[in-house]
A and B are shown apart, each in its own frame.
Chain A
Amino acid sequence: MITSILFVLLLLTGSGLFAWNVLKIRSNILLGRDLDRTDNKSERWKTMILVALGQKKMFTRPIPALLHFALYSAFIITQIELIEIVIDGIFGTHRFFKDSLGGFYTFLISFIEILSVLALFATIIFLSRRNLLKLPRLNMKELAGWPKKDANLILIMEIILVTCIFTMNGADEAANILHSNESYGFAISSLIGPMFFGNITSIGTLHTIEQIGWWGHILMVFAFLNYLPYSKHLHILLAFPNTWYSNLNKKGKFTNMESVTKEVKLMMDPTADPYAAQPEGESEHIPFGVKDVTDLTWKNLMDAYSCTECGRCTSSCPANITGKLLSPRNIMMKTRDRLVEVGEGKRKNGKDFQDGKSLLSDYITEEEIWACTSCNACVQECPVNIDPLSIIVDLRRYLVMEESKMPSELTGMLTNIENNGAPWQFSPTDRLNWASED
Chain B
Amino acid sequence: MSTPLKVPTMAEKLANGESADILFWVGCSGSFDDRAKKITKALVKILNQCNVNFAVLGAEESCTGDPAKRAGNEFTFQMQAMMNIQVLDGYEVKKIVTACPHCFNTLKNEYPELGGKYEVIHHTQLIQDLIHTGKLVVKDGGEFKGKKITFHDPCYLGRANDVYEAPRELLEKLDAEIVEMKRCKTNGLCCGAGGAQMFKEAEKGNKEINVERTEDALETKASIIATGCPFCNTMMTDGVKNFNKEGEIKVLDIAELIATAADL
Contacts and interface: CB of A to CB of B under 8 A. Distances in A.
A322 B205 contact: yes
A438 to B, nearest CB: 9
A376 interface: yes
A277 interface: no
Interface in A399-435: 399-401, 406-407, 409-410, 412-414, 417-418, 421-424, 426, 428-435
Nearest to B80: A417
Contacts of A254: 69-70, 110
A252 B161 contact: yes
Nearest to A260: B74
Contact of B200 (A316, A376, A396, A410): A410
A369 to B, nearest CB: 9
B203 A370 contact: yes
Interface string A293-326: 0000000000000000000000010110111111
Interface residues of B, number: 72
Contacts of B74: 257, 260, 288, 397, 401
Contacts of A400: 71-73
Interface in A94-153: none
A263 to B, nearest CB: 8
Contact of B62 (A257, A288, A421): A421
B65 interface: yes
A62 to B, nearest CB: 13
Interface in B235-264: none
A319 B189 contact: no
A143 B57 CA distance: 52
A302 B205 CA distance: 31
Contacts of A250: 105, 108-109, 160-162
B186 interface: yes
Contact of A318 (B67, B196, B209): B209
A380 B203 contact: no
B89 to A, nearest CB: 14
A253 B41 CA distance: 29
Interface in A43-96: 60
A433 B7 CA distance: 11
Interface string B192-209: 111111111111111111
Interface stretch (B26-34, B136-144, B217-225): B26-34
Interface in A355-386: 367, 370-377, 379-380
A256 B63 CA distance: 18
Nearest to B101: A252
Contacts of B196: 374, 410, 413
A264 B79 contact: yes
7 contacts: A250-B108, A263-B75, A316-B189, A323-B205, A376-B160, A400-B73, A429-B59
